[in-house]
Amino acid sequence: MPEAAEPAAAERQPAQGLVGARRPGVHVARRLPDTVLVHPLAGRGDTRLGTHPGGVPARTRTTPRGAWSRPPSRRGTAARHTTGVTKPAVDVADTRSTVLRRYWQHVVEFALLTLAVLLAVVLGALAAVPLIKLGVPPEAFTVLPMSAAVAVAFLGTLWVEIWYPHRHGGSTPAMRWLGLRIVTLRGGTPSVRDYFVRWLLMAVDGMLLGLVGAVLIAVTPRHQRLGDVVARTVVVRRAVT
């Protein structure tokens, strides 16, 4: 009788290859001697630690029934890779009509900046006269006007090219008068960094009284000067409101 009871007890004993107990709605991973099989979609369910009947820990996945029978789809991965490539939202036709207006814009802004510098020179000279009478060296009559001119030219370009467009929807003062504005290649609002890059490269675009920038605006596909090319911005017509 003891020998007959042992097979019956062995039949009731769980198989050594199973991990944990099987419950409805829960799929249990099978364990090999050196490998734990993990389903490719195991990330969809909770991860719990099961125990092999022999005391060896193993992982079980509480995955909905039938989920293991569906192979992983690659369409989602391919779609993510293809949708990550975006084309510029600004059409070339939107920039073609701005070429002449951009030339006028630079002429107007250059004229305004020149008037501001001349005014600074005059005010600097007038301020130097009483200082010389008070005993300041006569060189102040030259140094003070030139210092005022340099300060106005530097701060004026910063105000026109960075601060004003950043605060007024991408338009410099002359751009507002001529119906133009600066946007990114995707049609968004440029950042302060973009405006700073455009202003920094004005040193190249403004060479030969602006002839370098004028030629680049005429020959580039999106009518960009060097500052626009590096900052990835374009100038388009301003929407009429």
Distance of alpha carbon 99 from its chain centroid, rounded?
27
CA distance 195 to 238: 18
Nearest-Å Rg of the Cα atoms of the chain is: 37
User: Angle of helix 207-219 relative to helix 99-133, nearest 10 degrees?
Assistant: 160
* Sign (positive or negative) of CA dihedral 209, 228, 153, 102: positive
The model carries a pTM of 0.59
Q: Can you tell me the mean pLDDT for 204-211?
A: 89
CA distance 47 to 60: 6
Q: Can you tell me the mean pLDDT for 144-164?
A: 94
User: For all residues of the chain together, what is the average pLDDT?
Assistant: 74
pLDDT score recorded for residue 210: 86
CA distance 102 to 216: 12
CA distance 43 to 50: 17
